[in-house]
């Protein structure tokens, strides 16, 4: 009897629940619109630019007292200052090797010839001769651009940051790979490290470590270590079960299981993690120029301050070239890690390598001894041409494309941005907060709603509610554009490997280009406005989203697509009925990553007229009395990020809930 | 007298079911079942449970929960019982087959035996020792020396050559390189893969990969081999080759084998005894001809209905008591002779064939009995 009622009621509720969910969301939005039109402009919690809340004052005080205790407090003397000393020593050491005069010499230990030879040699050893050629060409280009020393400074900082990241990241990643508990523990920390916009921790870092190469390297570490940990853990976790089970069945110890099965089977993924770490480090090292990191980033920033597009472009090219070289070499190394042999007969290869090793050693000796092999002769000619070309193009675009750019800008601003911003920022805070929490509960789950409630509380408490909502509106618009781009271009790339081959390098370049570099043309085209900030965010986030979607589409088993084609689907049907639904996981991931990337650009957007939270952070950097407010704004950005991320994830989880698998 | 003939046929006949001929004992199926009764079993499983889900521990202990059906259990306790109160013995040198459809719990069961999956309750006694009580070190020792396993998806390491894959178990237990290579080369030859020592698994066909898996399992000279649906991923011809390979190896090395399969003909072909599982429960355990001749319930009857009965049943199952009218001077056969092998003799004789064991007349088989089975079988097919 009881059973009948149970099944009876469950069959009745299931279809109803399915229909009500979207209905409830629509209803909620409708209610919100009605309430908004009635209550518009009330309780907006606006805070004038120069006004500070008690929290902001208190943060200022903390700042002052930390600064005062740097040389007295034990935590500084025995902890932070020690870390700083170690990092400093590492950076100085590597700089002395390749970048800066050291050991009583007027030049670095290794000159350009030695570095080019050694880099090509290493590329060949770990990857293949093709990327070795690429590396040699790329590094020579730095000299031709007149940026040899700057490039080597950047490389030195990157190397140190990568070294330390991997030193800690890979063991932690292995731990997270084998231990569920540690994995659960560390995931939120990694999320935080990656979501936190770089500017947010630049400020507290300089507070603790002062400005300079050491804190730049530490900032880079924070940014570059999460991928190393995450990807290593992912690699270990996705090792196929059968070989591991077989290993267990032979009575392997935990250590044997790790060294004989898990690590060799995840080697390729781990090398891929190294690749990601290097790319992240390079991107961050250039941004860290803001806290006085030497290298190419500094050249870009200086040029930006004088709106010298040409010089910024030249340095930008060097950064991109370095990114491409490092990326290709490590990617090729990961392929090699999987396939073992290369294209050459191993014995011939060994002989050639030994010969080339001798040549590289000889070049190093030359560059140690002779000035012509140490300092790049007659550099800078090429750099001049690049600068002039870039300046000319920018000028032409400003003069001739104004109509087009203004059209796009006004279109997006009026159609999307203004209405959304009005809706979010002009709702009373309690209404907006309630809408966020309810939406989180409806499209996500109760836990997401709880997180959202806490985040809403924190945002109100930060005193920057209104600015947060304006930032949220911009973030949502930018994310929408990012996802649209991601789907359109990603599907295109996923369906055609030729398109992929053409577009992927562009995306790689876009990802490693430091944000300032493309801020220049963006500002040139769209002037200082909220839209420029959105474009900057989209340019920054779109490559990631596109790549994720492309890989997702590509990963769909060929047989499935074949089956769809066999059933007579046309291209559009194949895309909408097979490829997009099957790549849904990737779409969700792309949305989530897009959100996070856009949000981490918010501060940079503050430089080009985004206003709101981004502006507060930038202002906090430059004006001492606004430090506390800037810090609060930074925290608000992080809180926004966590909130959006948790809601998106819960929504993804909910739509993904499959019936639990049966045991055989 | 009749045994050699049987062996000869067993090898020649391709579709030959039944465990006959696999072992070098000279009597057929039935007596071997009795051997188990007074021989100490290698593995003795008692009341084994494996329950997945929250608080799985309470299920075997609670009479109420234990009695629920799989679906009720999931609804009530959100648990899935993959193995329920399973008991059986495996005799030394025997090929013991656990058979069931997918989801019946057979793969879980075999993993519980070596604790690749931790059982929820029960006993697994191996050579007098309860494995479930063994500590980690002891368990490892057992896995290194006593057991080895062949997996459905092979579980080979793609970055190792065949010889290194085969020597893997030896490497795990700490054998030196020279010894590993020597032993691996030996076993590779045994499974007929000589010449492929330095290939990588992805350069081999599925059947050859599984030979590597087989060699790897044999390399450590274990007491018991566990096979988890080893041939399900192979195509039918290769599968038949591999089955014959197992039969050959079993005769050559005489290991105890526990063999998991969902394929009834494979079970009949390889198994001395067969345990049929459904929803985690044992439905029936016995020799192949017992399953076919005396199915325990409708499920088993359904399961075995397409089996060519003449290929499985022995004379014991079809003989009738002798009547007064019978002329008892016809040919003489043992009760363990398979019907198919007896057809010619029975049909050639103009009087009933006498079924004799140890000089005692058990019954007779005439044309009618044999034709019943052969014709019924054809109608069924």
pLDDT band at A516 (very low <50, low <70, confident <90, very high): low
User: Is the Cβ pair B155, A662 closer than 8 Å?
Assistant: no
pLDDT at B19: 37
pLDDT at A213: 85
d(CA B193, CA B203): 13
pLDDT at B38: 55
pLDDT band at A79 (very low <50, low <70, confident <90, very high): confident
Give me the helix-helix angle, B367-380 and B339-348, nearest 10°.
130
How far is the alpha carbon of B372 from chain A, nearest alpha carbon, in Å? Answer: 38
d(CA A455, CA A463): 13
Strand partners, B129: B126
- The more confident residue out of A486 and A519 is A486
Chain A residues near residue B153 by CB distance under 8 angstroms: 242
pLDDT band at A521 (very low <50, low <70, confident <90, very high): confident
Query: Which is nearest to A338 in space by CA: A260, A243, A267?
Result: A267
User: Is the Cβ pair A249, B171 closer than 8 Å?
Assistant: no
d(CA B242, CA B237): 9
User: Is the Cβ pair A663, B103 closer than 8 Å?
Assistant: yes
d(CA A465, CA A604): 20
Q: Tens of pLDDT along A95-116?
A: 888 888 877 777 888 888 889 9
- The more confident residue out of A97 and A610 is A97
Q: Tens of pLDDT along A24-58?
A: 888 888 888 888 888 777 777 777 777 778 888 88
State the average pLDDT over residues A543-547. Answer: 88
Chain A residues near residue B202 by CB distance under 8 angstroms: none
How far is the alpha carbon of A503 from chain B, nearest alpha carbon, in Å? Answer: 32
How far is the alpha carbon of B357 from chain A, nearest alpha carbon, in Å? Answer: 43
DSSP state of A243: H
User: Is the Cβ pair A664, B139 closer than 8 Å?
Assistant: no
pLDDT at A344: 63
Q: Tens of pLDDT along B277-334?
A: 988 889 898 888 888 888 888 888 888 888 888 788 888 888 888 887 777 787 888 8
d(CA B333, CA B327): 15
pLDDT at A197: 63
Handedness of CA A310, A314, A319, A324 (dihedral sign): positive
> Are A299 and A293 a contacting pair, CB within 8 Å?
no
Chain B residues near residue A242 by CB distance under 8 angstroms: 151-155
d(CA B139, CA B146): 10
B295 Cβ under 8 Å from any chain A Cβ: no
Q: Tens of pLDDT along A454-484?
A: 999 998 888 888 888 888 888 889 899 999 9
pLDDT at A342: 53
Query: Residue B237: CB partners within 8 Å, gap ≥ 6?
Result: none
Q: Mind listing the domains of chain B with CATH numbers?
A: 3-45+86-146+222-307 (3.40.50.300), 310-380 (3.10.580.10)
Q: Tens of pLDDT along A501-510?
A: 888 888 876 7
pLDDT band at A196 (very low <50, low <70, confident <90, very high): low
How far is the alpha carbon of B288 from chain A, nearest alpha carbon, in Å? Answer: 23
d(CA A266, CA B164): 18
Probe site for chain B from A4, A9, A250 (most B CB atoms < 10 A):
A250
d(CA B134, CA A301): 66
Chain B residues near residue A252 by CB distance under 8 angstroms: 140, 172
Q: Tens of pLDDT along B135-190?
A: 888 988 888 888 889 988 888 888 889 999 999 888 888 888 999 999 999 999 98
Name the residue in chain A with its Cα closest to that of B260: A664
Name the residue in chain B with its Cα closest to that of A336: B159
How far is the alpha carbon of A581 from chain B, nearest alpha carbon, in Å? Answer: 29
How far is the alpha carbon of A662 from chain B, nearest alpha carbon, in Å? Answer: 7
d(CA A460, CA A467): 10
How far is the alpha carbon of B105 from chain A, nearest alpha carbon, in Å? Answer: 5
User: Is the Cβ pair A664, B106 closer than 8 Å?
Assistant: yes
Q: Is the pLDDT of residue B25 over 50?
A: no
User: Is the Cβ pair A245, B151 closer than 8 Å?
Assistant: yes
pLDDT band at A193 (very low <50, low <70, confident <90, very high): confident
Compute the half-sphere exposure of residue B266: CA atoms within 13 Å on the CB side of its CA.
27
Highest-pLDDT range among A75-84, A290-299, B12-21, B86-95: B86-95
Nearest to B141 among A251, A261, A265 (CB): A251
State the average pLDDT over residues B19-37. Answer: 38
pLDDT band at A524 (very low <50, low <70, confident <90, very high): low
d(CA B350, CA B326): 11
User: Is the Cβ pair B151, A242 closer than 8 Å?
Assistant: yes
Name the residue in chain A with its Cα closest to that of B214: A246
Q: Which two tokens stand for residue A320?
A: 């991109």
User: Is the Cβ pair A246, B144 closer than 8 Å?
Assistant: no
Q: Is the pLDDT of residue A201 over 80?
A: no
> Are A482 and A545 a contacting pair, CB within 8 Å?
yes
Residue with tokens 């390729």: A268
Name the residue in chain A with its Cα closest to that of B222: A250
d(CA A570, CA A568): 6
Chain A residues near residue B156 by CB distance under 8 angstroms: 243, 246
Q: Are strands B147-150 and B273-278 parallel, antiparallel or unpaired?
A: unpaired
Lowest-confidence range among A206-210, A418-422, B94-98?
A: A206-210
User: Is the Cβ pair B168, A243 closer than 8 Å?
Assistant: no
Report percent pLDDT > 70 for chain B: 88
SS3 A72: coil
Chain A residues near residue B114 by CB distance under 8 angstroms: 249
DSSP state of A601: T
d(CA A518, CA A503): 18
Q: Is the pLDDT of residue A531 over 70?
A: yes
What pTM did the predictor assign? Answer: 0.71
> Are A113 and A360 a contacting pair, CB within 8 Å?
no
pLDDT at A319: 87
Q: Is the pLDDT of residue B17 over 50?
A: no
B143 Cβ under 8 Å from any chain A Cβ: yes
Max distance between CA atoms of chain A, in angstroms, equals 96
Q: Are strands B281-286 and B273-278 parallel, antiparallel or unpaired?
A: antiparallel
Q: Is the pLDDT of residue A590 over 80?
A: yes
Query: Which is nearest to B99 in space by CA: B251, B252, B307?
Result: B307
d(CA B378, CA A12): 50
State the average pLDDT over residues A535-549. Answer: 87
d(CA A81, CA A350): 46
pLDDT at A7: 41
pLDDT at A54: 80
Q: What is the 3-state secondary structure (H, E, C) of chain B?
A: CCHHHHHHHHHHCCCCCCCCCCCCCCCCHHHHHHHHHHCCCCEEEEEEEEEECCCCCHHHHCHHHHCCCHHHHHHHHCCEEEEEEEEEEECCCCEEEEECCCCCCHHHHHHHHCCCCCCCEEEEEECCEEHHHCCHHHHHHHHHHCEEEECCCCCCCCCCCHHHHHCHHHHHCCCCHHHHHHHHHHHHHHCCCCCCCCCCHHHCCHHHHHHHHHHHHHHCCCCEEEEECCCCCCCHHHHHHHHHHHHHHHHHHCCEEEEEECCHHHHHHHCCEEEEEECCEEEEEECHHHHHHCCCCHHHHHHHCCCCHHHHCEHHHHCECCCCCCCCCCCEECCCCEHHHHHHHHHHCCCCEEEEECCEEEEEECHHHHHHHHHHHHHHC
Query: Which is nearest to A475 in space by CA: A416, A429, A409?
Result: A416
User: Is the Cβ pair B173, A340 closer than 8 Å?
Assistant: no
State the complex-level ipTM.
0.71
How far is the alpha carbon of B221 from chain A, nearest alpha carbon, in Å? Answer: 12
Chain A residues near residue B226 by CB distance under 8 angstroms: 249
State the average pLDDT over residues A538-544. Answer: 86
Query: Which is nearest to A320 in space by CA: A296, A299, A303, A301?
Result: A296
Q: Is the pLDDT of residue A198 over 80?
A: no
Q: Which two tokens stand for residue B274?
A: 């067969």
pLDDT at A129: 84
Mean pLDDT of chain A: 81
d(CA A97, CA A90): 11
Q: Across the A/B interface, how many CB contacts are shorter than 8 Å?
A: 83
Report percent pLDDT > 90 for chain B: 17
pLDDT band at B224 (very low <50, low <70, confident <90, very high): very high
Q: How many CB atoms lie within 10 A of CB B19?
A: 25
d(CA A56, CA A49): 12
> Are A277 and A169 a contacting pair, CB within 8 Å?
yes
Nearest to B82 among A256, A340, A663 (CB): A663
pLDDT at A514: 61
d(CA A533, CA A527): 10
User: Is the Cβ pair A245, B156 closer than 8 Å?
Assistant: no
Nearest to B159 among A246, A264, A663 (CB): A264
DSSP state of A657: -
Strand partners, B149: B226
> Are B261 and B288 a contacting pair, CB within 8 Å?
no
Probe site for chain A from B84, B155, B230 (most A CB atoms < 10 A):
B155
How far is the alpha carbon of B149 from chain A, nearest alpha carbon, in Å? Answer: 7
- The more confident residue out of B59 and A217 is A217
- The more confident residue out of A136 and A333 is A136
d(CA B222, CA B251): 15
Chain B residues near residue A261 by CB distance under 8 angstroms: 157
């Amino acid at each position: 009897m009881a059973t009948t009622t149970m099944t009876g009621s469950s069959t009745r509720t299931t279809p109803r629940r399915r229909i009500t969910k979207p209905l409830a969301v629509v209803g909620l939005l409708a209610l919100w619109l009605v309430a908004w039109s009635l209550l518009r402009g009330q309780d907006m919690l606006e805070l004038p630019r120069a006004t500070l809340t008690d929290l902001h004052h208190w943060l200022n005080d903390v700042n002052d007292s930390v600064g005062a205790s740097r040389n007295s407090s034990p935590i500084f003397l025995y902890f932070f200052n020690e870390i700083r000393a170690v990092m400093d020593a590492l950076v100085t050491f590597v700089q002395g090797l390749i970048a800066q005069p050291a050991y009583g010499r007027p030049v670095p230990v290794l000159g350009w010839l030695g570095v080019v030879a050694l880099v090509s040699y290493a590329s060949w050893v770990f990857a293949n001769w093709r990327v070795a050629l690429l590396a040699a060409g790329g590094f020579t280009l730095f000299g031709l651009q007149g940026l040899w020393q700057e490039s080597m400074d950047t490389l030195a900082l990157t190397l140190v940051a990568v070294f330390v990241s991997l030193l800690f990241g890979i063991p932690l990643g292995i731990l997270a790979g084998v231990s569920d508990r540690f994995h659960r523990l560390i995931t939120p920390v990694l999320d935080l490290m990656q979501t936190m916009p770089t500017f947010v921790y630049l400020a507290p870092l300089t507070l603790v470590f002062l400005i300079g190469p050491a804190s730049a390297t530490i900032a880079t570490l924070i940014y570059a270590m999460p991928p190393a940990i995450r990807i290593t853990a992912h690699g270990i976790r996705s090792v196929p079960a059968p070989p591991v089970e077989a290993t267990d069945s032979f009575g392997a110890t935990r250590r044997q299981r790790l060294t004989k099965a898990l690590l060799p089977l995840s080697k390729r993924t781990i090398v891929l993690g190294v690749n990601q770490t290097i790319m992240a480090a390079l991107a961050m090292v250039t941004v860290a120029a803001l806290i006085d990191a030497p290298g190419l980033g500094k050249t870009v920033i200086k040029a930006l301050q004088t709106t010298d597009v040409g010089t910024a472009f030249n340095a930008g090219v060097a950064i991109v070239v370095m990114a491409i070289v490092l990326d290709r070499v490590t990617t090729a190394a990961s392929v090699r890690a999987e396939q073992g042999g290369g294209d050459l007969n191993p014995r011939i290869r060994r002989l050639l390598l030994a010969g080339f090793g001798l040549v590289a050693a000889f070049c190093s000796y030359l560059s140690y001894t002779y000035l012509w092999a140490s300092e790049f002769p007659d550099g800078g000619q090429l750099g001049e041409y690049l600068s002039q070309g870039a300046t000319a193009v920018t000028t032409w675009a400003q003069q001739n494309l104004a109509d087009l750019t203004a059209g796009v800008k006004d279109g997006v601003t009026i159609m999307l941005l203004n209405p959304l911003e009005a809706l979010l920022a002009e709702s009373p805070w309690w209404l907006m907060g309630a809408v966020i929490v309810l939406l989180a509960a409806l499209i996500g789950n109760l836990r997401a709603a709880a997180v959202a409630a806490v985040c809403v509380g924190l945002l109100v408490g930060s005193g920057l509610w209104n600015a947060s909502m304006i930032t949220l509106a911009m973030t949502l618009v930018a994310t929408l554009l990012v996802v649209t781009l991601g789907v359109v271009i990603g599907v295109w790339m996923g369906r055609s490997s030729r398109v992929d081959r053409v577009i992927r390098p562009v995306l790689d370049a876009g990802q490693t280009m430091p944000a300032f570099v493309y801020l220049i043309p963006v500002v040139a085209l769209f002037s200082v406005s909220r839209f420029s900030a959105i474009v900057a965010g989209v340019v920054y986030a779109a490559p990631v989203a596109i790549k994720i979607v492309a890989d997702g589409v590509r990963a769909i088993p060929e047989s499935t697509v074949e089956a769809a084609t066999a059933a007579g689907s046309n291209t559009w049907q194949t895309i909408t009925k097979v490829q997009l639904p099957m790549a849904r996981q990737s779409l969700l991931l792309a949305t989530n990553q897009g959100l996070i990337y856009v949000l981490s650009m918010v501060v940079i957007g503050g430089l080009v007229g985004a206003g709101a939270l981004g502006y507060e952070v930038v202002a906090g950097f430059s004006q001492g009395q606004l430090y506390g407010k800037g810090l609060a704004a930074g925290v608000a950005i992080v809180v926004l990020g966590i909130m959006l991320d948790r809601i998106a994830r819960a929504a993804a989880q909910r739509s993904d809930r499959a019936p639990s698998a049966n045991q055989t | 007298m009749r045994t050699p003939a049987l062996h000869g046929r067993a090898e020649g006949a391709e579709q030959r079911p039944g465990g006959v001929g696999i072992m070098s004992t000279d009597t057929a199926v039935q007596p071997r079942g009795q051997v188990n009764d007074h021989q100490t079993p290698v593995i003795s499983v008692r009341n084994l449970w494996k329950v997945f889900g929250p608080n799985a521990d309470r299920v075997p202990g609670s009479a109420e929960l234990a009695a629920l059906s799989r679906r009720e259990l999931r609804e009530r306790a959100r648990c899935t019982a993959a193995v329920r109160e399973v008991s059986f013995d495996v005799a030394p040198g025997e090929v013991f087959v656990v058979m069931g459809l997918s989801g019946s719990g057979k793969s879980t069961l075999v993993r519980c035996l070596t604790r690749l999956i931790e059982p929820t309750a029960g006993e697994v006694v191996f050579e007098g020792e309860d494995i479930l009580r063994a500590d980690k070190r002891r368990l490892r020792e057992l896995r290194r020396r006593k057991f080895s396993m062949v997996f459905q998806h092979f579980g080979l390491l793609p970055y190792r050559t065949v010889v290194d894959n085969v020597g893997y178990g030896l490497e795990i237990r700490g054998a030196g390189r020279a010894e590993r290579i020597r032993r691996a080369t030996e076993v590779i030859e045994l499974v007929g893969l000589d010449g492929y020592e330095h290939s990588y698994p992805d350069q081999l066909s599925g059947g050859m990969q599984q030979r590597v898996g087989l060699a790897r399992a044999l390399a450590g000279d274990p007491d018991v081999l566990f096979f988890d649906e080893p041939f399900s991923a192979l195509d039918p011809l290769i599968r038949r080759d591999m089955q014959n390979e197992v039969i050959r190896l079993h005769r050559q090395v005489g290991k105890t084998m526990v063999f998991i399969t969902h394929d009834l003909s494979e079970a009949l072909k390889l198994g001395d005894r067969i345990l049929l599982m459904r929803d985690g429960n044992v439905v029936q355990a016995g020799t192949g001809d017992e399953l076919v001749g005396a199915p325990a319930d409708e499920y088993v009857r359904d399961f075995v209905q397409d089996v060519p009965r003449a290929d499985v049943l022995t004379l014991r199952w079809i003989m009738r008591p002798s009547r007064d009218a019978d002329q008892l001077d016809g040919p003489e056969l043992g009760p363990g002779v398979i019907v198919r092998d007896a057809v010619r003799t029975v049909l050639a004789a103009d009087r009933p064939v006498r079924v004799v064991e140890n000089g005692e007349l058990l019954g007779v088989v005439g044309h009618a009995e044999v034709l019943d089975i052969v014709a019924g079988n054809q109608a069924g097919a």
